[in-house]
Structure 1
Amino acid sequence: MGKRTKKVGICGKYGVRYGSSLRKVVKKIEVSQHAKYNCVFCGKDNVKRACTGIWKCKSCHKVVAGGAYLLNTPSAATVRSTLARLRKAREANIDAPCCEGTCAGF
């Protein structure tokens, strides 16, 4: 069988309606929301979107909260890296000797 659509892909269901620019934006969103993602628990590519913001792994049955259209949002990645940086700084501060008793254990 031949390929059914050349460019439109999943947005062929909209036909000529709504304008090409909006259909391109919707295509990007719908492709990402219907894709399978890698599970952080079992390592398989079996995480699918159950409903808005809820992602479920089909093999290990873990349920994860994420973005509406993506499993990991860019803002969540920023928060994760910031928390890791602060945690690392706190652990380094705990391991360092106290500064002549002036910090009162902080």
Structure 2
Amino acid sequence: MKKKTLFSRFLLFLPLIMHTESPKRPVFCMAKRTKKVGIVGKYGTRYGASLRKQVKKIEISQHGKYTCVFCGKENMKRKCVGIWHCRSCKKTVAGGAWVYSTTAAVQVRSAIRRLREVKEQ
């Protein structure tokens, strides 16, 4: 039995990945992408537009990279709910469920800093 090369396998699937406008010029088809919906395109038309907009904001923030406070690099990624891990300095810290630092945590940190300054004076 003849061993199939990579090129011969490619030629077998060529009709599946291209279509022709004219017999002389083949046109390769790109994968279909979402136009406006982005990461929530996986939900299709389900759940309503308003809910999908809210989920889009949350999912973009939870999958993004954040700046590490220890090394200063933008390598802080979410491992699971509330657990954030820096890939460069290998530190793991607790944070918000969807964002690295919540607004409540920022307010508490500023209040502690203000009280510390008052105590030192």
TM-score by length of 2: 0.73
Matches within 5 A, 1:60-71: 60-71=89-100
Alignment correspondent of 2:78: 49
Deviations 1:21-66 (CA, angstroms, capped at 9, x unpaired): 0000000000000000000111111000010000000111001110
Query: Could you tell me how far 1:5 is from its partner in structure 2?
Result: 1.5
Gap runs ≥5 in structure 2: 1-29
Task: State the percentage of identical aligned residues.
Answer: 66
Residues 1:15 and 2:15 are matched in the alignment: no
For 1:31 and 1:61, the matched residues in 2 are separated by: 23
3-state SS, counterpart of residue 64 of structure 1: strand
TM-score by length of 1: 0.83
Matches within 5 A, 1:26-105: 26-92=55-121
For 1:31 and 1:69, the matched residues in 2 are separated by: 9
- The number of residues matched between the two structures is 92
Structure with bigger gyration radius: 2
3-state SS, counterpart of residue 57 of structure 2: helix
For 2:107 and 2:35, the matched residues in 1 are separated by: 36
Gap runs ≥5 in structure 1: 93-106
3-state SS, counterpart of residue 56 of structure 1: strand
Structure with more relative contact order (C-alpha pairs < 8 Å, separation 6 or more): 1
